[in-house]
Amino acid sequence: MPVQRSLLGRPFPPMPPKRVAVLLSTIAVFAVFTLVFTLPNSIPSGPSLGRFTDHKIPMPKLPKTLSPSILNPFRQAAHAPPVQKNSTSGDASWYSNWNWMSPFSSSVTLDENRSLLPPLIDRPPIYTYYDHTLQKEKDHKDAENAVLVTWRRAWWAQGFKPIILSPAEAMNNPLYAELQMQELEPYLKTELARWLAWENMGTGILCHYLLLPMGSHEDPLLAFLRRGEYPQLTRFDHLGSGLFAGTKGDITAAVKQALSNKALKEAGDFIGAVSPETFKIDPKHGALAFYDTRTVKEKYSKIADEIENDGPSGLMMLNKLTISHLHTTWQNTFSKGIAVLKPQADHMTAAILPARKLAEFLTQCPSSPLPSSCPPNNPHCKPCVASLPLKITTPSVYRNTSDLYTIGTVPHPFTTALLSPLYDSSESELTIPWIRRKSKRDPWLTTITAELCGTGMSGAPRVVKFKDAVASQYGTAHSLWITAERDMPDDLDWYFGFTIPRNVTDKGESETPVPGPERKPNVSSGPRTLEPEVTEEEASLMKERALLKRAVEFGQARTPEDEKLRKAIEAWNLADTEAWRFARAFLERSRVERKRWEEEERKYAGGKAGAERGMSEGWGRWFDDR
Ligand SMILES: *[C@@H]1O[C@H](CO)[C@@H](O)[C@H](O)[C@H]1NC(C)=O
Ligand SMILES: *[C@@H]1O[C@H](CO)[C@@H](O)[C@H](O)[C@H]1NC(C)=O
Ligand SMILES: *[C@@H]1O[C@H](CO)[C@@H](O)[C@H](O)[C@H]1NC(C)=O
Ligand SMILES: *[C@@H]1O[C@H](CO)[C@@H](O)[C@H](O)[C@H]1NC(C)=O
Ligand SMILES: *[C@@H]1O[C@H](CO)[C@@H](O)[C@H](O)[C@H]1NC(C)=O
């Protein structure tokens, strides 16, 4: 008796074997075509290599060896891209490439642990000249050192590579001999040495260390300077010798012109020593604040007097003033306040505590010798008023608003699952069946991008949006993304470009008790246990803390059982995992980039001059109490 075949439950008449073969091969060809042409299309637009290569192949051939990638099993097995220099740190590793916007890194890096990051943006060099060889009192040197640190930090945060030049660079210049032969006033001689040092380095920006960038990241002038291409030797109207930008050829020509000037002795400064046509004078410099002697005398006379009385202490005051102005500028840029993302309103309090605390620090008024003063480049600023601080909000979604700063905390899917309202912590263990039956896929990313992408979108385009928010130039200037299981980066001051005030005044209204250093929770004597009753809110916070601790420990444990569970959770939440890895790698790379630069700079005399020297205390103790 022939076998009864059925299609969708309905029997259909037996077919001769030849027609079966034709039908089957038609289906097979159709299936292959569908796979090949829909897979690349499911990846959203963006610079993806696949878009350009896959479509050139006229007839798809099935590769003999298949790649292990889950996403595209029909891809030919390939070598993973080469490991780049300094591209690992702890567990995080990354590969920087221009096609970083692909939703899933592993489809390019062929390694689930390696995230695909945007190429590091070249930081154009900005030079300042500081003569560390001059004999001065120690406290004078310390004050100048503090000023130099402020200068380096402010320019670093704006995307430059600040470099301190010293007489060593000037002497390295072949033209130095010519300078030595001239008999000049000490001021003019220093000025020329400064130019020789710059000429020795080449194309870039020469900046006085009392000139600081005070504007938003998108300011057109800062954006122009960041591009690193200076068609003409440029100086700025009213800024004197504060800032020059130019290419090596132009700098050399200017220096030669000055040195061969017969009337060099009579010239007051470098600008006077060359013909006026040497420079293009830019009248727009709204984002540059120059604290030269004249400005300080005019606008901040209290400090000018102090400098006259006692140089070092006056300089320290000036330094404090510039830091407070940098902070005020930042607060004015983000006038809508700070959004600390909190996607699961009732369950994320502990996880976002460090982010929230950072937000509180940032909304503080900086301590300043002239509290209501404005930077010299922006007389109409809004000075920080303690009674009207910036708003801190805790929205559940990411909003792309230009004057809102976002601090995001990205949890690993395991952490999300532990903290999720669905998870009943009385259930002894998180198990694979629980994940599959009860938990939603990618809950964190779906919530965060709900407004950006709407609902009903799959994980891949959400990840792309997320990556844009984290790592694009615009994104880095408007947000900071940390992972929930790790500590805050310890060089936060360098992200923002000023010393972040580290003490929170007791406003008595903050939701969560924020202990100061002296009230550090001692296991038995935290402020919480002093209260007779533990409120419901605090009990849930304590529970969250315990769960978070478990999540952190889980991340460090590597038992085979844990690994299995971890793999299952990561596979279930592909997009959340990708987001977490991406944020982790991006933050680590910024840290490594800065460390490397510090290492490089330390070799030079200038590096010693602008080093932090324990001035900045670590952040660890401020955030480790969640
Ligand atoms: C970067 O790599 C070099 C060698 O390739 C190594 O000496 C240096 O310590 C690394 N720097 C960091 C910050 O990891
Ligand atoms: C990724 O990292 C985990 C844990 O560090 C490890 O178990 C796994 O083998 C790694 N995967 C690859 C492809 O290296
Ligand atoms: C946010 O807005 C800026 C400019 O308005 C845009 O360039 C950027 O791509 C947006 N980012 C996201 C994640 O939508
Ligand atoms: C703490 O804040 C107060 C006022 O806000 C300020 O006067 C003091 O200098 C700050 N202390 C530190 C160590 O920053
Ligand atoms: C914290 O507790 C330890 C013992 O647990 C004690 O030695 C220490 O003095 C306490 N510190 C404060 C500030 O109370």
pLDDT tens column, 441-473: 888 888 888 888 877 778 788 888 898 899 888
Atom 10 in ligand 4: residue holding the nearest Cα: 503
Please give the model's pTM, rounded to 2 decimal places.
Answer: 0.78
Which tens digit of pLDDT belongs to each residue from 101-141? 877 777 777 777 788 888 888 899 999 998 887 777 888 88
Atom 3 in ligand 5: residue holding the nearest Cα: 522
Q: Which residues contact 197 (CB under 8 A, 6 or more apart)?
A: 127, 129, 165, 166, 167, 169, 170, 173
CA of residue 105 to ligand 2 center, whole Å? 14
Instruction: Give the least confident one: 77-81, 213-217, 559-563, 608-612.
Output: 608-612
CA distance 559 to 71: 27
602 lines ligand 1 (CB under 6 A): no
Residue 375, pLDDT above cutoff 60:
yes
Structure tokens at 142: 């310390």
Atom 1 in ligand 1: residue holding the nearest Cα: 86
Q: For residue 30, what pLDDT is reported?
A: 63
* Domain assignments of the chain as residue spans, ordered by start: 125-290, 335-504+537-623
584 lines ligand 3 (CB under 6 A): no
Average pLDDT over all residues of the chain: 78
Q: Which of 101, 336, 398, 400 best tests ligand 3's pocket when mutated (most atoms within 8 Å of CB)?
A: 400
558 lines ligand 1 (CB under 6 A): no
Long-range contacts of 551-558 (CB under 8 A, 24+ apart): 551/411, 551/412, 551/414, 551/415, 551/418, 551/419, 551/484, 551/485, 552/485, 554/414, 555/412, 555/414, 555/485
User: DSSP code of 127?
Assistant: E
Which ligand is in closest contact with the Cα of 564?
2
Q: Which of 107, 112, 581 best tests ligand 2's pocket when mutated (most atoms within 8 Å of CB)?
A: 112
Which tens digit of pLDDT belongs to each residue from 24-68? 677 666 665 555 555 544 444 434 433 443 344 444 444 444 444
Handedness of CA 521, 524, 525, 530 (dihedral sign): positive
CA of residue 368 to ligand 4 center, whole Å? 10
Handedness of CA 531, 535, 537, 541 (dihedral sign): positive
- The H-assigned helical ranges of 393-526 are 413-419, 432-438, 443-448, 450-453, 459-471, 473-478, 492-496
**Which among 181, 115, 292 is positioned nearest to 303, based on CA atoms?**
292
Q: Which of 87, 94, 596 best tests ligand 1's pocket when mutated (most atoms within 8 Å of CB)?
A: 596
Residue 426, pLDDT above cutoff 60:
no
CA of residue 385 to ligand 4 center, whole Å? 15
Q: Which residues contact 160 (CB under 8 A, 6 or more apart)?
A: 123, 124, 125, 126, 205, 225, 226
Q: For residue 69, what pLDDT is reported?
A: 47
Q: For residue 74, what pLDDT is reported?
A: 55
Which tens digit of pLDDT belongs to each residue from 250-282? 888 888 888 887 777 777 788 887 888 888 888
Q: Which residues contact 360 (CB under 8 A, 6 or more apart)?
A: 392, 504, 510, 514
- Please name the fold of domain 125-290: Spore Coat Polysaccharide Biosynthesis Protein SpsA; Chain A (3.90.550)
Residue 391 carries which side chain, given as an amino acid letter? Answer: K
Which tens digit of pLDDT belongs to each residue from 345-362? 777 888 888 888 889 889
Which tens digit of pLDDT belongs to each residue from 168-208? 888 888 888 888 888 778 888 888 889 988 988 888 999 99
When pLDDT is cut at 50, 70 and 90, the band that residue 157 belongs to is very high
199 phi/psi in degrees, rounded to 5: -60, -35
Which tens digit of pLDDT belongs to each residue from 319-329? 999 999 999 99
Q: Provide the percentage of residues in the chain whose pLDDT is more than 90.
A: 11
CA of residue 86 to ligand 1 center, whole Å? 6
CA distance 65 to 474: 41
Residue 199 carries which side chain, given as an amino acid letter? Answer: E
Beta strand residue intervals within 150-308, DSSP E: 161-165, 204-207, 211-213, 234-236, 243-246, 280-282, 288-290
CA distance 59 to 36: 10
Nearest-Å Rg of the Cα atoms of the chain is 30
Atom 13 in ligand 5: residue holding the nearest Cα: 522
**Which among 491, 472, 474, 492 is positioned nearest to 582, based on CA atoms?**
472
**Which among 281, 368, 255, 389 is positioned nearest to 322, based on CA atoms?**
368
Q: State which ligand 3 atom lies nearest to the alpha carbon of 465.
A: 13
Handedness of CA 74, 75, 76, 80 (dihedral sign): negative
Which ligand is in closest contact with the Cα of 476?
3
Q: Which of 384, 503, 621 best tests ligand 4's pocket when mutated (most atoms within 8 Å of CB)?
A: 503
Q: For residue 131, what pLDDT is reported?
A: 83
Asked whether the beta carbons of 587 and 455 are under 8 A apart, the reply is no
What number is the average pLDDT over the span 557-574? 82
User: How many other CB atoms are there within 10 angstroms of residue 544's CB atom?
Assistant: 21
When pLDDT is cut at 50, 70 and 90, the band that residue 145 belongs to is confident
Q: For residue 130, what pLDDT is reported?
A: 87
Q: For residue 82, what pLDDT is reported?
A: 76
**Which among 170, 218, 166, 215 is positioned nearest to 193, based on CA atoms?**
170
Atom 1 in ligand 4: residue holding the nearest Cα: 503
Residue-wise DSSP of 335-386 = TT-EEE--SSTTT-TTTTHHHHHHHHHHHSPPP-SSTT---TT-TT-----T
Atom 3 in ligand 2: residue holding the nearest Cα: 113
Which tens digit of pLDDT belongs to each residue from 61-92? 444 444 444 555 555 567 777 777 777 777 77
Residue 514, pLDDT above cutoff 70:
no
Q: For residue 372, what pLDDT is reported?
A: 86
Residue 506, pLDDT above cutoff 70:
no
What number is the average pLDDT over the span 143-166? 89
Q: State which ligand 3 atom lies nearest to the alpha carbon of 398.
A: 13
When pLDDT is cut at 50, 70 and 90, the band that residue 423 belongs to is low
Q: For residue 404, what pLDDT is reported?
A: 92
Instruction: Give the least confident one: 154-158, 376-380, 548-552.
Output: 548-552
Q: For residue 325, what pLDDT is reported?
A: 92
Which ligand is in closest contact with the Cα of 526?
5
What number is the average pLDDT over the span 507-532? 42
CA of residue 113 to ligand 2 center, whole Å? 6
